[in-house]
Chains A and B, each alone.
Chain A
Amino acid sequence: MPKTLLRLSVNGEDHDLAAAPHKTLLEVLREEMGLTGTKHGCELGECGTCTVLVDGRPVLSCLALPIELEGRAITTVEGLASAGRLHPLQQAFAELGAAQCGYCTPGILLTARALLADNPRPTRQEVREALAGNLCRCTGYTKILDAVELAALRCAGGA
């Protein structure tokens, strides 16, 4: 299939690239842009692994078409840290052991970031509900919930 020219805004930078129009955002990020931080778990929209943010909202990149996302702000895990400073979520995940194999981690970090943007001090149950679409097979979620709570506390200047 012939390629289409696209301009995507990813992590604050505009990128001009060519991709077949049926390629998913997941494929374009990983294969055309080399942003392999976004992982795939099913490519059917079932596991949350490939979550990125589009205009701050969590989107499953395996179900999104780049051609529909021109002009929108796409954020991947590579864009979570700024100027070498980790996002408080990243810092908390690292400190508390919330990433074991780390494969689901990028999607969970981005989902959690969207949650904290909406709801800076979520209850544990609210964190559970926000992350219910992201499967993790390693951690039992406990340390993930702890890390989101710690990051929320730190963002609010509490620790």
Chain B
Amino acid sequence: MRGAGKERFTVVGQPLPKIDAWAKVTGETRFADDLSLPRMAYGKLLRSPHPHALIRRIDTARARARPGVYGVLTGFDLPRVKFGILPVSQDEEALCTEKVRMVGDAVAAVAAVDEETAERATELIDVEYEVLPPLMSIEDALGRPEVRIHEYGDGPNVHKAVSLEFGDVESAFARADLVREDVFYFEGNTHLPMEQHCALALWGPDGKLTLWSSTQTPHYVHRLLGRILDVPPAHIRVIATPNGGGFGGKLDPFAHEIAACKLSQVIGRPVKITLTREEVFYVHRGRHPVLMWVRTGVTRQGEILGMHFRTWLDGGAYGSYGVASTFYTGALQTVTYRVPAYKFEGARIFTNKPPCGPKRGHGTPQPRFALECHLDKIAGELGLDPADMRRRILAEPFTKTANHLTVTTIGLGECIDRVVLASGWRDKVGQLPPGRGIGIACSSYLTGAGSAIYWNDMPHSGVVVRADRSGGVAVLCGAIDVGQGSDSILAYLVAEVLGIDPKDIRVHAADTDLTPVDLGSYSSRVTLMCGNAAIQAAERLRGLLLGTVAAKLGVAAEALAARGRRIGLPDDPDRSVSFAEAVVLAESIHGVLAVPGSYAPPKRAGKYKGGGVGPSPCYSYTACVVELEVDRETGGVRIDDVWIAHDVGRALNPLLVEGQVEGSVYMGIGEALMEEQVFRKGLHKAPSLLEYKSPTTLETPEIHTILVETDDPEGPFGAKEAGQGPLLPVIPAIANAVHDAIGVRIDEIPITPDKILKALARKREGKPARIGPERLPRFAFPAPRLVESAFGQPADRVAARPFQGGAGGPP
């Protein structure tokens, strides 16, 4: 079916409602905090008020004595095993025993008859702290090596330092017509899902544990609980509940999940812990603040000859996904444009702030902002139109990049052409009245990380499709829908293959007892990986059905089609049976019809340390144009229109793809103009939905979405990701439009009114009209690992991947 035109599809490509739309508009969807169980207790965590302190003593006696309190835990009641999402960063305790490293670190947990009693009881826990100097910035942390936040890493308060060089960057600079250097800063910000995290644990009298949690990664939580609680993993069941938004904020295992489990064991009741909004701000794991330096050598036409990129990440108090985040700040620069020689140095620094981790675009929005503003400045210096320059220097499809990433289809040229046309770019750039501006930027993003967070040879995604004698079909998959519509995509794909209606399908998701493993709802991997597994399972089932019906009709199976809930000869309705009849016939011969599908990405990681971060089966591409107005009196920015074209490979449901693009644009606008996770003496400056500014309907402009289809050979029916990539170009497009409007460069995100006014004042005074970092940390990166550049090498059109053959399926 690959390569087939849209007319071949009946479900794919249709703007159908999501299969769970009805539950969501009636309030029937049960999020974690909507669950309750008989005899359920409510849990609360006591959190550190200090950003950095040793714990000298914890006394829980007064809390235990309070009426209504069922149990109190400290870290001494838990196995003393540190954990972390990445095997290389096992540095967290659910309840700290020796040291707290941030305001908000949990030190004790209470279960009580109600939430209020639990909260009052946490106030009765006496903790004696010995306060240590807090390190609140990269400069602080590097400047005070005698104060150590952790005892591990690549140097005092250095979590990770990496250095890679692909090809000879210096000689590329020597050949360049122009070599330009720029420095940028991207302040941290947070995911802010509307649902606060919640976990409900039931440790049964049989010694088995069930956890319902608003997690994006039930499989990783399952693995972790098996390691750090006194219960074999085989006796643990993790059920992810529909996420009320995640954006990466529910990807780590969290203290409240572990505490709920242990409290349930201790008190013999189900325990629910729901975080407050303030706690969600401290739990964080969001966008890293990143300081960036970039030097690029180009020809007069803007062709890139070599690029050197440096990043310093403010990681916060724990490792989280930070090693991956660090590599991601350097991995994808090469996927968008031709970069023959590339050098990347990155360092993640520990500070006494909530840990940063993966937020939509994981580690790539910050360098994307830097790179796209840097290119705009280069275009300005060369006197080139920034859209035309980008159009000329695009990466080549089906080649490898300098850093050994395999790129398949690239629809970016069409994306640029279409936003340029739709926005009226040529009549506007440099020609709008003072105060009005237009800007462009491009980007690319993964469609699923090529490597799991722990090395193994098993599928990244599994699906079981089970046909019922009624003609109904159940789809079992470990992925949790976080609002992006993954359940619906599974239903559409299976319906397409089996020739039935999505309504005939029920999706049962994210239950580690019932569903095959999916690694989680992150890295834009679910549509591609679960989708391919679902197609494989459905095709195997279809094979059984067609074979059985062919035998009954006395025709060849190849002559049959599954369409309109019937299986038979496509042009002879009399020689066909209903789907339900086909199931009965097939089950009579083959027995139970429950068929697996598996997916693992092609193994294409570069053979160098760090080569595991960046590879993906394919990459999405986006181009974005923003038109805005800057109020030169107030410094306020009003965005009027956003035109965005996204290469999604194939839009399996254009309505859902548009929704992902629009949501990404919205989130990009929030990051560009207002959202920031900043601290004063260890305390979050804005830990509420009122103080932490995010765009409302009034700040969100009209968004003009254009979908570009490239039918990628790696994707399910050609599809690539849509949930993260479209965020990336929005931020630099805004920064570039601000420059077009008022002739100042704000090289620091967010672009707030105070920065604009300051830059305008500098411009009036004849000083450089730029706001941004003035200096870089004193930091010696390790000597670079020298790797041959793979730039321009041809890539296979169709890559072999594991589990592709018939093995694992039914006979």
Residues of A within 8 A of B (CB): 30, 35-44, 46-47, 49, 76-78, 80-81, 86, 89-91, 93-97, 99-106, 109, 127-129, 131-145
B29 contacts partner chain A, Cβ-Cβ < 8 Å: yes
If A37-B26, A103-B194 touch, does A139 touch B663 (CB 8 Å cutoff)? yes
Query: Pick the contact of B21 from A99, A131, A136 — CB < 8 Å?
Result: A99
Is A101 touching B690 in the complex (CB atoms < 8 A)? no
Is A137 touching B194 in the complex (CB atoms < 8 A)? yes
Query: Pick the contact of B662 from A42, A128, A140 — CB < 8 Å?
Result: A140
CA distance A38 to B25 in the complex (A): 11
Task: Say how far A16's CB is from chain B's closest CB, in angstroms.
Answer: 21
Is A44 touching B688 in the complex (CB atoms < 8 A)? yes
Q: Name B700's closest neighbour in chain A (CB-CB).
A: A141
B533 contacts partner chain A, Cβ-Cβ < 8 Å: no
B478 contacts partner chain A, Cβ-Cβ < 8 Å: no
Residues of A within 8 A of B297 (CB): none
CA distance A138 to B15 in the complex (A): 18
B28 contacts partner chain A, Cβ-Cβ < 8 Å: yes
Residues of B within 8 A of A86 (CB): 22, 25-26
Q: Which of B92-100, B140-148, B239-247, B497-505 contacts A (4 or more CB under 8 A)?
A: B239-247
Is A76 touching B27 in the complex (CB atoms < 8 A)? yes
Is B662 touching A102 in the complex (CB atoms < 8 A)? no
Is B25 touching A90 in the complex (CB atoms < 8 A)? yes
CA distance A49 to B194 in the complex (A): 8
Most B CB within 10 A of own CB, among A46, A94, A100, A134: A100
Is A139 touching B662 in the complex (CB atoms < 8 A)? yes
B696 contacts partner chain A, Cβ-Cβ < 8 Å: yes
Is A142 touching B243 in the complex (CB atoms < 8 A)? no
Residues of B within 8 A of A127 (CB): 697
B563 contacts partner chain A, Cβ-Cβ < 8 Å: no
Main secondary structure of the interface of A (DSSP, over half): loop
Residues of B within 8 A of A (CB): 15, 17-18, 20-31, 33-34, 191-196, 242-247, 276-277, 482-485, 655-656, 658-659, 662-667, 688-690, 694, 696-698, 700, 702-703
CA distance A105 to B26 in the complex (A): 9
CA distance A78 to B25 in the complex (A): 9
The A/B interface has a contact count, at CB < 8 Å, of 176
If A97-B659, A137-B192 touch, does A46 touch B703 (CB 8 Å cutoff)? no
Task: Say how far B292's CB is from chain A's closest CB, in angstroms.
Answer: 26
Residues of A within 8 A of B22 (CB): 86, 94
CA distance A141 to B663 in the complex (A): 8
CA distance A105 to B22 in the complex (A): 11
Is A41 touching B655 in the complex (CB atoms < 8 A)? no
Is A103 touching B244 in the complex (CB atoms < 8 A)? yes
Query: Pick the contact of B694 from A36, A43, A137 — CB < 8 Å?
Result: A137
Residues of B within 8 A of A131 (CB): 696-697
Residues of A within 8 A of B192 (CB): 137
Is A139 touching B694 in the complex (CB atoms < 8 A)? no
Task: Say how far B229's CB is from chain A's closest CB, in angstroms.
Answer: 29
Is B21 touching A97 in the complex (CB atoms < 8 A)? yes
Main secondary structure of the interface of B (DSSP, over half): loop
Is B689 touching A44 in the complex (CB atoms < 8 A)? yes
Q: Name B485's closest neighbour in chain A (CB-CB).
A: A100
Residues of A within 8 A of B665 (CB): 140
Is A39 touching B31 in the complex (CB atoms < 8 A)? yes
CA distance A77 to B120 in the complex (A): 32
Q: 20 additional contacts, CB 8 Å, given A78-B26, A100-B663, A140-B700?
A: A38-B27, A42-B690, A46-B690, A77-B26, A93-B25, A94-B21, A97-B18, A97-B21, A97-B656, A99-B25, A102-B20, A132-B696, A135-B194, A138-B659, A140-B663, A141-B700, A142-B700, A142-B702, A143-B658, A145-B697
Task: Say how far A13's CB is from chain B's closest CB, in angstroms.
Answer: 16
Residues of A within 8 A of B30 (CB): 36
Q: Name B697's closest neighbour in chain A (CB-CB).
A: A128
If A97-B655, A139-B663, A140-B662 touch, does A81 touch B26 (CB 8 Å cutoff)? yes
Residues of B within 8 A of A134 (CB): 696-697
12 pairs of residues in contact across A and B, judged by CB atoms under 8 Å: A41-B277, A49-B194, A77-B25, A94-B18, A97-B485, A99-B21, A101-B195, A101-B483, A138-B245, A139-B662, A141-B662, A143-B662
CA distance A110 to B520 in the complex (A): 33
If A39-B195, A42-B277, A97-B655 touch, does A132 touch B662 (CB 8 Å cutoff)? no
Task: Say how far B553's CB is from chain A's closest CB, in angstroms.
Answer: 39
Task: Say how far B724's CB is from chain A's closest CB, in angstroms.
Answer: 13
Residues of B within 8 A of A144 (CB): 697
Is B663 touching A102 in the complex (CB atoms < 8 A)? no
Is A44 touching B690 in the complex (CB atoms < 8 A)? yes
Residues of A within 8 A of B655 (CB): 96-97, 143
Query: Pick the contact of A42 from B18, B242, B689 — CB < 8 Å?
Result: B689
If A40-B196, A93-B25 touch, does A132 touch B698 (CB 8 Å cutoff)? yes
CA distance A95 to B245 in the complex (A): 20
